[in-house]
Amino acid sequence: MFENVYNDLLNDVTNGKDSVLITTLQPIDERKGTILEKRLLHRYSLENEDSEKIKEKIHHTFETGKPNLVSSNDHLLLIEAYTPKPRLIILGGGHIAKPLCEFASKVGFSVVVADDRPTFANTNRFPEASEVLCQSFERIFDLLNPRDSDFIVIVTRGHRHDGICLRKALSYTPAYIGMIGSKRRVKAMKEQLVTEGYSKDRIEGINSPIGLEIGAVTPEEIAISIIAQCIGFRRGAITKESGKSKSYSPEFDNEVIWEMAKKSEIPRALITIISSKGSVPRKAGAKMISWLDGRVLGSIGGGCSEAGILSSARDVILTKGYKIEQVDLTGDVAEEEGMVCGGLLEVLIEAF
């Protein structure tokens, strides 16, 4: 029914666009009703959205990464933010780049490795990378065209190449720029950038020496410190400006969205965590699909609580529309299920 909307959403996110999906719900009572429509907007193209309240909620959704359920006239609006899968650009294919590419891929980054040496820039060396480019560091940025959501890690084989990459990176506004190097060399590089006219704010935004301070020594340890710092920026725990959270990358169940973009002969329900409190296995934004024939894709946390939601999903599929349910994982409920978590989930079940 709304496959085209999810297909457009996939195209937008794949092409690096921050998008927002607004689902309009018509309540019958506090917990159930019908689905009227789904609209797809872009983060920086909200001119046609008349309501300042809705615009404010959209921006808040991007800032927190959490869905917003908003009352508007006689309707409910579910506002969900979707951001591109973060791309980690590794400039340099040496001994640190190899474990960094592996670890980054495992934690959800799309990795691009670039080097000017064919023996270091090849897919055999970096099988986990989504792209490996062999090109001079002077020209590589024309091919990469870095986006605001990108993470750039500079780990080339020499100080001169690092400097070329850093100056090129500063021409863009990625989410993260990190450069390897000793404190002495980094200090000298930053002083040189000041004399070249780069602003103090841009220079202070460079993460160099790179990575979290964990006493890393081996290439693998250094790679872990770098990817940990990138995760901190991605999840909003660290920012260039203040070291405090300013944004949060939403939960994004790529397989679920891909499946929702397909037509299905078997009726199904889309299940979304729309809010969470306390310690819960998955946060707001997590999704799963339940088919009438018993198949499922994704998870909202597992256990008996998920089984109860799947039972409700079957009823919603048969009656159509939507239903909002609460899952209690506190106290005795969590203990009975053998869970270490304890919190509350609010879950939206939509029939398709």
Mean of the per-residue pLDDT values for the chain?
88
- State what percent of residues in the chain have pLDDT above 90: 62
Minimum mean pLDDT range among 126-135, 146-155, 229-238, 289-298: 229-238
What pLDDT is attached to residue 72?
87
Which run of H or of E encompasses 115? strand 110-115
How confident is the model at residue 266, as a pLDDT? 96
For 148-174, what is the mean pLDDT? 93
Strand, coil or helix: what is 75?
A: strand
CA 108 → CA 9, 112, 288, distances in Å? 19, 13, 18
**According to the model, what pLDDT value does residue 335 have?**
53
pLDDT at residue 247 in the model: 47
- pLDDT in the model for residue 245: 40
Of 6 and 60, which is predicted with more confidence?
A: 6
Specify the pTM.
0.72
> Do 112 and 130 contact (CB within 8 A), yes or no?
yes
Mean pLDDT of 287-292: 96
Q: In this predicted structure, what is the pLDDT of residue 337?
A: 52
Is 234 or 312 the better-scoring residue by pLDDT? 312
pLDDT band at residue 246 under the 50/70/90 scheme: very low
Instruction: State the pLDDT at residue 64.
Output: 80
User: How far apart (Å, rounded) are the C-alpha atoms in residues 347 and 309?
Assistant: 8
Report the CATH number of the 87-234 domain.
3.40.50.720
pLDDT of residue 95: 96
pLDDT at position 125 over 50? yes
HSE-up of 309 (CA within 13 Å, CB side)? Answer: 30
- CATH 3.40.50.720 residue ranges for the chain: 87-234
